[in-house]
Amino acid sequence: MNLYPYQQQGVSFLVEKQQALLADEVGLGKTYQALDACRQLEARRVLVLCPAILKYQWQAEINKFFPSATTAVVAGSQKQRIPLWGGDQEFTIANYELLLRDFACVASEIWDVIIADEATRISNPRAKQTKALKRLQARYKFALTGTPFTNSVENIWSIMDWLVPDLLGNWWQFINTYCVKNYWNAVVGYRNLDVMREKIRPFMLRRTKHEVMAELPEIISTDISLVMSETEKKLYNRLRSELLFEISREDINKIENPTTIANAMVKMVRLKQLTCSSELLGESTESTKLEALKELLPMWINGERKAIIFTQFSKFADILERELTDYSPLKITGEVKDRENILDLFNNKSKHRLLIMTSAGQYGLNIQAASVVVHADQEWSLGKMTQRLGRAHRIGQKQTVLEYNLICKGTIDMYVRKVLRKKQELSDFMIEAHGVETHGVGAQEIREILNYSG
């Protein structure tokens, strides 16, 4: 890992304190700091607890920085999960909900390090999963969250009680010392916050982007690995098998019929649509990417940040607009005529936190109000991907731009992201609104795309 100076400071903090809260703002690399701390501590048994949607993201980051490390993602039926808890892998990754379902297996293990990612998941002291976590044994405990106080000061008590029991007293002592209650015992204010801050300070480290801006790159890019639902997988594999059968039947390796290849390319668009939402194919309304966005956007859009979500498909843009109403989304597609008015609203009205755009609507727009760019799907062309990012990353942008790529594991997403983009010339084949350009794409390359699993 090549860590920035502030990240090296964060690693040293975690290693020295052993039980600590890393509360850096979103995008500053809490994952990297926690992983490097595990390396410095020579940890051999690490349990990572995180939201379900981030499990494979953690695995991808570990594999990226520690290629020789062994990992296991706890998933599947209980019969499949049980052996994973006691496996000899270095990193065990699980979502919080599994603590309750498999508690006997988890509790029987002694961990070198437990990492609680998005630690606000344990901010409710009465929640069963919070109580379960506090019963696990570990030499070192790291809590990670960019929003340690979220909605109220009370949220910090449970996190600190896991890390450093009795630091803030028990729950009732905490409430009576730091909270002001009305006649009905509802918390209406706070007191003695300076005292609380001094007690927490030795065990919590928080940096904002503005504080470390000089050390940051202009763009921080992250791939978010997702696993489709069983229904989506069945649909995807059925469509993929049909396409492979058609290619085999036509024997286009010998014929290289442009029409046949063009038809295959059109059908491959359906595979890309399916990774966005099965609703695009009229099959159902399941969408792993939509559910991921519902869970991740609250982490990405906070404070002054606004986001753009890009998709190639106007129908998926409609779905996102329909489902993400909490952010008062605006939408720009190729059919939209009043783009300037929409941009004015997005740039100047605080209630509009999200702009949804298709590739057709992306050119020539200055959207510096957004500092988060989410690619719901990947363009065939590297140039087009650069155009997307350029809407927010341009002169006048005052924040580091956070770029997120949603990638469904074992699908065409992975081929486009990890293989095609390496060629630097993805315009060899591009799917356009008015048809298909093949430019020499052959059967062998189509087979590679369909069979690629990462």
pLDDT for 139-163, tens place per residue?
A: 999 999 987 876 677 789 999 999 9
What is the pLDDT at residue 436?
37
Confidence of residue 453 (pLDDT cuts 50, 70, 90): low
Burial class (CB in 10 A: 0-12, 13-18, 19+), 286: middle
Specify the fold of 220-451: Rossmann fold (3.40.50)
Looking at every residue in the chain, the average pLDDT score rounds to 84
Burial class (CB in 10 A: 0-12, 13-18, 19+), 201: exposed
pLDDT for 112-135, tens place per residue?
A: 999 999 898 998 999 999 999 999
Cβ atoms 296, 50 nearer than 8 A: no
Looking at per-residue pLDDT, the higher value among 177 and 440 belongs to: 177
Report which of 412, 378, 376 is spatially closest to residue 276, judged by C-alpha positions: 376
Q: Residue 349: is its pLDDT beyond 70?
A: yes
Whole-number Å distance between alpha carbons of 94 and 414: 23
Q: Residue 49: is its pLDDT beyond 70?
A: yes
Report which of 157, 153, 181, 188 is spatially closest to residue 171, judged by C-alpha positions: 157
What is the pLDDT at residue 252?
46
What is the pLDDT at residue 407?
94
What does the pLDDT average to over 66-72?
Answer: 94
What is the pLDDT at residue 278?
92
What is the pLDDT at residue 53?
80
Q: Residue 256: is its pLDDT beyond 60?
A: no
Q: Out of 4-18, 190-204, 242-256, 430-444, give the one with best mean pLDDT.
A: 4-18
What is the pLDDT at residue 57?
83
Q: Residue 425: is its pLDDT beyond 60?
A: no
From residue 29, alpha-carbon distances to 59, 119, 173, 185, 342 in Å are 15, 15, 34, 39, 33
- Sketch the domain layout of the chain as residue ranges: 5-210, 220-451
pLDDT for 6-20, tens place per residue?
A: 999 999 999 999 999
pTM of the model: 0.70
Confidence of residue 424 (pLDDT cuts 50, 70, 90): very low
Domain pair 5-210 / 220-451, same fold: yes
Q: Looking at 59-73, 362-376, 424-438, which range is the least confident one?
A: 424-438
Q: How would CATH label the architecture of 5-210?
A: 3-Layer(aba) Sandwich (3.40)
Confidence of residue 454 (pLDDT cuts 50, 70, 90): low
What does the pLDDT average to over 310-327?
Answer: 94
What is the pLDDT at residue 434?
30
